Structure 1
Amino acid sequence: MSTERVVRTFVEYYEDRGHRRITGSTLLPPSGGPVLFTTSGMHPLIPYLAGRPHPLGRRLVNVQRCLRTTDLEEVGDPTHLTVFEMLGTWSLGDYEGPRSLDWGYWLLTEGFGVDPGLLHATAFGGDERTGPDTASVELWQERGVPVELTVEDNWWPSGPTGPCGPDSEIFLWTGEGPPESTPTRDDRWVEVWNHVMMRHRRLADGSLVPLAQRNVDTGLGLERLASLLQGRTSVFECDVFEPWRRLVPGLWPLDEPSLRLVCDHLRSAVVVIGDGVRPAAGGRGYVLRRLVRRVLTVLWRDDPSRGLGDLPDELVPHTLDRFRQDTDPGEVRRVLLDEERRFRRLLERGRQVLARPRFHGSLDEEDFRYLHDTHGLPRDLVLSLRSTG
């Protein structure tokens, strides 16, 4: 099942159940929000989750591009990406969690053909603030799906304050042979879908108050689901990465973890640039800068002559088209090459500065502040230069 067919099947399934498709936003959330980038489909909908009527009604479905830097160090494993697309559904004060879970079960098993025997669920077990999510547990028991109770793993916050509530997550078995153990004890259970019963608002003092309406917010990673439905062992082998897997290894021979990082970070950088971000010393621009420099660090580790100017022409427009962006591919390449030149100059200056006798021994906080404030050398770059000699 191609990724495009996954999207079409998902959206049409929920449209048949009264949901209206809304247009996904860019990676840039509304100003004044708690995050630099959109990390899930719910961020643009926070006003409506809080009770404002949505112009398209109380049942919504969409496809939203997202960026998560919290998973940056995990990129390269079989399931994590920096920029990805999320399939989402919402009930804004309409139906409750059990109906959402039931629809999710039937879509996975009948719509996508997943063997019910390969499913496992988790649900909120309750804590001192609120009781267990018995309604979700009962739904899973009715469907014959084993369910594991947790506390922290099944409580979803939108941030330090704001909408929150218990969630129930659906996992798919990816191991050889029959399923074993539970999701918290065996990482061969891969999370594919999270259903959040958004009923509370967390205040600054940590207390919970009821939301004006009881919502359901679900999110499902598109590339992760597609890779599982396509029988692939990682998200980097699903069809959206086909041109990257075909072209990059011949250009830059890399081990598998490095190949995955380079493909992910370059693809993510293209999308971030496509949404109007440019490299900078802070904020969103620093996230972009960090992505590009992590790629260059990997490429230059074995061969300093490698450069982003060699990137095949097909990859930038392919990625922009995939994420429905109309940015000029030439502009994206210009931004990448400008950042590469800037980073080369910074590395050359950094090596000269760190060669001074003052910096031959261990560095203290005053040294790191001086290197950053006087020479523009951030701590992570200093540590990298010292580790590579």
Structure 2
Amino acid sequence: MPPPQSTDDIRQAYLDFFRSKDHTVIPGASLIPENDPTVLFTTAGMHPLVPYLLGESHPGGNRLTDCQRCVRTQDIDEVGDSSHLTMFEMLGNWSLGDYFKEGAIQMSYEFLTTVLEIPVHHLAVTCFVGDSDAPKDEEAATIWMNLGIPEDRIGFLPKKDNWWGPAGQTGPCGPDTEMFYWIGQGEPHGNPAENDSDWMEIWNDVFMQYDKQDDGSFVPLAQQNVDTGMGLERVAAVMQGVKNVYETDRMKPIVEKVESGKGKEERDTIKHVRIVTDHIKAATFIIADGARPSNVDQGYVLRKLIRRAIRSAKQLDIETSGQFCATIAKEVVAQYGHIYGHIRDQEKLIADVFAQEEQQFAKTLQAGMRQIEKVIAAVQGNTISGDDAFHLYDTYGFPLELTREIAAEQGLAIDEDAFHKAFEHHQELSRQGAEQKFSGGLADHSSETTKLHTATHLLNAALRTVLGDHVYQKGSNITKERLRFDFSHDEKMTNEQRQAVERLVNDAIEKDLPISFHVTDVEGAKKEGAIGVFDDRYASEVKVYVIGEGKDVFSKEICGGPHVARTGMLGSFTLKKEESSSSGVRRIKATVQGGPAEITVAKEVESGKWREERE
């Protein structure tokens, strides 16, 4: 049987391989993290699994595998080269206290050389070089050599290259080993530590074996975990023998759709074609997962992606009258809808969001034209300042090329050095913002956020009681100060409805109801009446959190946790604000105050025992 070549076949081969190695295939999570204020998007396959990497039991067991859609925005301005993508698919496998270095490396090697049939001499690896915190990872290097990787193909690199974590200032972390494929000229030689431009990273095995302490020291973890990630698009490029990810079988039709409308044939247009392709693909998935263009958080990134795509389309002389983005998004759905059914099911909504944003941006560009006229009128001498040029770029979406063209018509130049300095400063601020968003850890399970997480369940149940069973959670965001809860409802709530919801939640808190969870299958959860989305996001087994017991069950939801052990720990609940989030979706902001500073969390009960106690 020949090795898999298509993107779909590689994805399936990976999942089948690890299923044969006793891994449970779990569904990917949404791009919008639930109940996690520390990141805007799901950035890696391990992101939704952090509670389990920290020791919580997973319903699927201690060997897991999946394909996770991811969005990374730190290098958004680098998109357009051959390797950077905003949204990509990450194949991953995990060991939660099961196998460690030897098992992980052996399976990685077997998949690469036996399933994909990549010749060993086209592969190289890197390992951690060691420092004052942790020793050189000779163990991983020895395992690779014993499998058949020559010693000269094994490089050693420092923490910035071969170490993961911790996500915040403290927590799980450890060395990693990375696998590379030869993309240089001639016969493969050396390793990525010597000539990294000739090698493309395709897989990363992270060995979480240390716990960084408050004093900066590293102590061994009680449970050693493995977290791996393989970029599907990069591996597809390798297997299909193409030079970059945009030429792979699922990306190329989108590229061709963009190119079919362009009016320029110059070679320098390729970057703009790739930006349009990448950004509209990413935006399509982000919209389908619940975000809408706005000026904050995920909505801000989404708006930036759409507007950068439109700016690049204009550089290609493509008409962007209101339907261009939707046309490209339709091709994205055609390529990925059979795998990600939720984008196919929301195709019309996605098109509507793109059209509205495209039309709104056209008005912004008109305002920008008026602004550039003011800038030109105010110029002293014959040069537009870099700050003015950047303001036009950042605020009105004017690419430097367009400002340069308009300036030239007036006999003016632009201080492009100053523009690029302002641009680099903006990039650095964006990266710092992303790092600060990330620095709290991939899942902040402090006492306050755990209380607020439980409060969202109480709020959801109360809303369904007051407004009706059409209410379902559409999104959630929690900080240490407040919860934000989006739910399906067409009308503004009345004051009486708000008061009734608040009263129901506080009644449940005053009753000090017990909270527990049990593990069951999806069908079992449905039969119990548990609230859930019930699409393809759930694994075969799920956790059902129950607030209350006997006849006093207040809430029953599928959830990953954690939650407080009793509702009385929440103190008091206050509904601060209710407003529109988007069409057909309302948003509530609320707080909890009081309750103990130190909490205990809800514990698992056996599913059968839970039913016996409540029947």
Q: Tell me if TM exceeds 0.5.
A: yes
Task: Report deviation, 1:308.
Answer: 5.2
Residue number in structure 2 paired with 1:63: 67
Letter in 2 for 1:154: N
**Contact preservation (8 Å) 1:270, 1:320:** no
Q: Is residue 7 of structure 1 aligned with residue 15 of structure 2?
A: no
- Distance verdict in 2 for CA 1:46–1:298, change over 3 Å: same
Question: Do the aligned residues in 2 keep the contact of 1:63 with 1:85 (CA within 8 Å)?
Answer: yes
Deviation at 1:349, TM superposition (A): 1.2
Q: Structure 1 residue 201: deviation in Å?
A: 3.5
Aligned to 2:157: 150
Q: CA deviation at 1:110?
A: 0.6
1:156 Cα shift? 1.2
Offset of residue 90 of structure 1: 0.3
Does residue 226 of the first structure (1) align with residue 240 of the second (2)?
no
- The aligned residue for residue 97 of structure 1 is 101
Question: Do structure 1's residue 194 and structure 2's residue 204 form an aligned pair?
Answer: yes
Q: Secondary structure at the residue paired with 2:191?
A: coil
TM-score (norm 1): 0.90
Q: What does residue 176 of structure 1 align with?
A: 185
CA contact (8 A) 1:154 1:166 kept: yes
Cα shift at 1:293: 0.8
- Structure 2's unaligned 5+ residue stretches are 407-615
Q: Give the direction of change, closer, same or farther, for the CA distance of 1:359–1:44 in structure 2 (3 Å limit).
A: farther
- Out of 49, 66, 70, the residue aligned to residue 45 of structure 1 is 49
The CA deviation at 1:321 is 3.8
Alpha-carbon shift at residue 203 of structure 1 (Å): 5.0
CA contact (8 A) 1:368 1:379 kept: no
- C-alpha RMSD of matched pairs (Å): 2.6
CA distances 1:192-241 after superposition (whole Å, capped 9, x unpaired)? 00000012334566543443311000000111101111111111111111
Three-state SS of the structure 1 residue aligned to 2:250 is helix
Distance in structure 2 (CA, Å) of the matches to 1:250 and 1:363: 37
Task: After TM superposition, give the deviation of residue 135 of structure 1 in Å.
Answer: 1.1
Aligned to 2:379: 360
Q: Report SS of the residue matched to 1:239.
A: coil
Cα 1:308–1:179 shift into 2, 3 Å: farther
Which residue pairs with 2:273 in the alignment?
A: 259
Structure 1 residue ranges without an equivalent (≥5): none
Contact 1:75–1:81 (CA under 8 A) maintained in structure 2 = yes
The SS at the match of 2:208 is strand
Query: What secondary structure sits across from 1:187 in the alignment?
Result: helix
Shift of 1:159: 2.7
1:325 to 320, 333, 342: 342
Are the aligned partners of 2:23 and 2:64 in contact in 1 as well (CA < 8 Å)? yes
The reply to whether residue 270 of structure 1 matches residue 284 of structure 2 is yes
Shift in CA distance, 77/212, structure 1 to aligned 2, threshold 3 Å:
same
Shift of 1:85: 0.7
Distance in 2 of aligned mates of 1:57 and 1:301: 51
The match for 1:163 among 148, 172, 175 is 172
Aligned to 1:32: 36
Instruction: Provide, for residues 152-181 of structure 1, a one-character-per-residue CA deviation record: whole Å limited to 9, x for no partner.
Output: 200112533343210000001122321123
**Residues 292 and 302 of structure 2 are in contact (CA less than 8 Å); yes or no, is this contact kept in structure 1?**
yes
2:367/2:396 contact within 8 Å kept = no
For CA contacts below 8 A with separation 6 or more, give which structure has more relative contact order: 1
CA deviation after TM superposition for structure 1 residue 382, in Å = 6.5
1:110 corresponds in structure 2 to 114
**Which is higher, the Rg of structure 1 or of structure 2?**
2
Range 171-180 or range 308-317, more displaced: 308-317
Matches of 1:307 and 1:165 in 2, distance apart? 51
Pick one of 21, 24, 40 that aligns with 1:17: 21
Whole-Å separation in 1 of the counterparts to 2:86 and 2:328: 21
**Alignment partners' CA distance in 2, 1:199 and 1:313:** 43
Matches for 1:337-376 after TM superposition, within 5 Å: 337-356=355-374, 360=379
| CA drift at 1:104 | 0.4
What letter is aligned with 1:147?
I
SS of residue paired to 1:325: helix
Could you say what secondary structure the match of 2:260 adopts? helix
Secondary structure at 1:98's aligned position in 2?
helix
Q: CA deviation at 1:306?
A: 3.4
Quick one: distance in 2 between partners of 1:302 and 1:246? 13
State the Cα deviation string for residues 264-311 of structure 1 (Å, max 9, x = none): 111111111111110011210111111111111111135373345142
Identity among equivalent pairs (%) = 36
**Counterpart secondary structure, 1:99:** helix
* Paired residues of 1:83 and 1:268 also in contact (CA < 8 A): yes
Aligned CA distance change for structure 1 residues 382 and 133 (closer, same or farther; 3 Å): same
Residue range with higher mean Cα deviation, 319-328 or 40-49: 319-328
